[in-house]
Chains A and B, each alone.
Chain A
Amino acid sequence: MPDYRELLQQVKAEIDEVDVAAARESDALFVDVREVDEWMEGRIPGAIHVPRGFLESRIENAAPDKAQPIVLYCAAGNRSAFAAKTLADLGYENVASLAGGYTDWKRSGLPTELPRSLDAAKRQRYSRHLLIPEVGEEGQLKLLDARILLIGAGGLGSPASLYLAAAGVGKLGIVDDDRVDASNLQRQIAHSTETLGEWKADSAKRTIEALNPDVEVVTYRERLTSENVDRILADGWDVIVDGADNFPTRYLVNDASVWHGIPVVHGSIYRFEGQVTVFSPHEGPCYRCLFPQPPPPELAPSCAEGGVLGVLPGIVGSLQASEALKLALGIGESLAGRLLLFDALATDFSEVTLRRDPDCPVCGEHPTITEYIDYVEFCSGRPAHA
């Protein structure tokens, strides 16, 4: 039976080692296999943390591509040597152990970083997120850094904003120029009987702050227009959740998001039915690829004219929140390129495929609309150049 020293030598003879200078030049994924307390005291920037005790069970989630170059490190290069052998046994093809480990890395004056972490209160508040491998502490920190802009604090914006706030999205913007009316309360759950008559943006802000004080809420008590959209988007948003109630705003949101490169989580509702998708600028179709022209006004009644089942925006707005959280976390398959249709009467979800239109006037190969237009006129049903 070999002792520890002999076993280590045997293993080191079987694996590849790389020194800190070579490791720094490589584009490999760094995997830190040390214990949590070591990781918390500093790490190689960009490294992911998979403690050696969890290596076999967690590595396939953390690094699904077995051909991807990986550099494993520990404090001095011994635990990572054993870890490299394990990964080779699991079929990883391009694995090396960092000779000298984190100690040599640091001694060579190479950059290190201290991992950010959640305080005890946040750990408790977001504990159900921390338990999900796809979210975890890193993901929760991403959410706390995320900035999501909601267009409309009505039927869709209410549930979307509440779930995004509860999830710990650090900054929420709310654009709405309307005041809370009694007819809103059948579905717009961010508002209440107590806030009747208040600006919806302010009413929603109060509800959100009561739910989660970690969230900074920026209110815009104005209607989104060609004149103010660039100023509002310049405040810096990662994702837009479109819950507008009219076509001119939806086309404006689309054009602005394509030009600013911000993904839009789109939702719309009428009576018992809803539509949800994600428009990812220049990667997937945009709203104009889907609907190049708005319907004539008489064929597109609003919820104010045609009504809506109160819970419907709760379902559709929650789906929008789910898509927005996935985008902020960078996980899962988004609805980009797919339009989800929900019918509450039949309790039926169906999906149709959306494709980019190469002739799209905004995101196509030869765009013909390159600046904001008169969106009200565009949606009025009157020819624009009559």
Chain B
Amino acid sequence: MKTVRIPPALRPAAEGKREVHAAGGTVRELLDDLMGRFPALRHQLVDGDEIAPFVNVYVEGEDVRTLDGLETEVHDGSTVILLPAMAGG
């Protein structure tokens, strides 16, 4: 199991959860699992076959766009952070 951290702006679409467990060996599989359970997340996370340009996905602290994108491997025990920009000040 892998842990996915849900940012506050996306929590309304994920039953208010701060962290959820998800199954899969790659970012794509994890997000598919997540979006299958929380369909409202889909348009907030992906754009066609890509990660939405306004969301960053980090695996072990590294932006997956600098790794293998959606095909980036996620190992057991890893934490995936979903991070949209927030502007509040």
Q: A350-B81, A352-B63 are in contact. Are A269 and B54 (CB under 8 A)?
A: no
Q: Is A302 an interface residue (CB 8 A)?
A: yes
A-contact bits for B74-89, CB 8 A (1 contact / 0 none): 0000000101111111
CA distance A242 to B88 in the complex (A): 11
- Chain A positions 243-261 with a Cβ under 8 Å from a chain B Cβ: 243-247, 250
What's the nearest-Cβ distance from chain B to residue A271, in Å? 5
A-contact bits for B1-38, CB 8 A (1 contact / 0 none): 00000011110000000100000000000000000000
User: Contact: A275 with B86, CB < 8 Å?
Assistant: yes
B-contact bits for A281-323, CB 8 A (1 contact / 0 none): 0000000001111111001111100101000010000000000
Q: Is B44 an interface residue (CB 8 A)?
A: yes
User: Contact: A271 with B8, CB < 8 Å?
Assistant: yes
Give chain A residues whose Cβ lies under 8 Å from the Cβ of B62: 352-353
Give chain B residues whose Cβ lies under 8 Å from the Cβ of A313: 89
CA distance A308 to B9 in the complex (A): 12
User: Contact: A152 with B54, CB < 8 Å?
Assistant: no
Number of chain A residues whose Cβ lies closer than 8 Å to a Cβ of chain B: 46
Interface size class of B (residues with CB under 8 A): 20 to 34
Q: Is A60 an interface residue (CB 8 A)?
A: no
Give chain B residues whose Cβ lies under 8 Å from the Cβ of A247: 85, 87
Select B84's contact among A272, A300, A302, A355, beta carbons within 8 Å.
Answer: A300
User: Contact: A300 with B85, CB < 8 Å?
Assistant: yes
Q: A268-B89, A300-B87 are in contact. Are A292 and B53 (CB under 8 A)?
A: yes
Q: A346-B18, A352-B61, A352-B81 are in contact. Are A268 and B86 (CB under 8 A)?
A: yes
Select B61's contact among A243, A295, A351, beta carbons within 8 Å.
Answer: A351
Q: Is A215 an interface residue (CB 8 A)?
A: no
CA distance A88 to B88 in the complex (A): 55
Which residue in chain A gives the minimum CB-CB distance to B59?
Answer: A352
User: Contact: A268 with B88, CB < 8 Å?
Assistant: yes
What's the nearest-Cβ distance from chain A to residue B23, in Å? 23
Select A244's contact among B18, B84, B85, B89, beta carbons within 8 Å.
Answer: B89
Q: Is A168 an interface residue (CB 8 A)?
A: no
User: Contact: B88 with A270, CB < 8 Å?
Assistant: yes
- Chain B positions 43-68 with a Cβ under 8 Å from a chain A Cβ: 44, 53-56, 58, 61-63, 66
CA distance A313 to B66 in the complex (A): 31
What's the nearest-Cβ distance from chain B to residue A258, in Å? 17
Which residue in chain B gives the minimum CB-CB distance to A152?
Answer: B89
What's the nearest-Cβ distance from chain B to residue A194, in Å? 23
Give chain B residues whose Cβ lies under 8 Å from the Cβ of A272: 8
CA distance A299 to B84 in the complex (A): 9
- Chain A positions 328-353 with a Cβ under 8 Å from a chain B Cβ: 339, 341, 343, 345-346, 350-353
Give chain A residues whose Cβ lies under 8 Å from the Cβ of B86: 268-270, 273, 275, 300
What's the nearest-Cβ distance from chain B to residue A320, in Å? 10
What's the nearest-Cβ distance from chain B to residue A300, in Å? 6
Select A246's contact among B44, B56, B87, beta carbons within 8 Å.
Answer: B87
Q: A243-B89, A268-B86, A300-B85 are in contact. Are A291 and B54 (CB under 8 A)?
A: yes
User: Contact: B54 with A293, CB < 8 Å?
Assistant: yes
User: Contact: B63 with A269, CB < 8 Å?
Assistant: no
Q: A295-B54, A345-B18, A352-B83 are in contact. Are A154 and B89 (CB under 8 A)?
A: yes
Q: Report B's interface with A, CB cutoff 8 A.
A: 7-10, 18, 44, 53-56, 58, 61-63, 66, 81, 83-89
Please, could you name 18 A-B residue pairs with CB atoms under 8 Å apart, sorted by A?
A: A157-B89, A242-B89, A243-B89, A244-B87, A250-B87, A268-B86, A269-B89, A291-B56, A294-B54, A294-B87, A299-B10, A299-B44, A299-B84, A306-B9, A313-B89, A350-B81, A352-B62, A355-B63
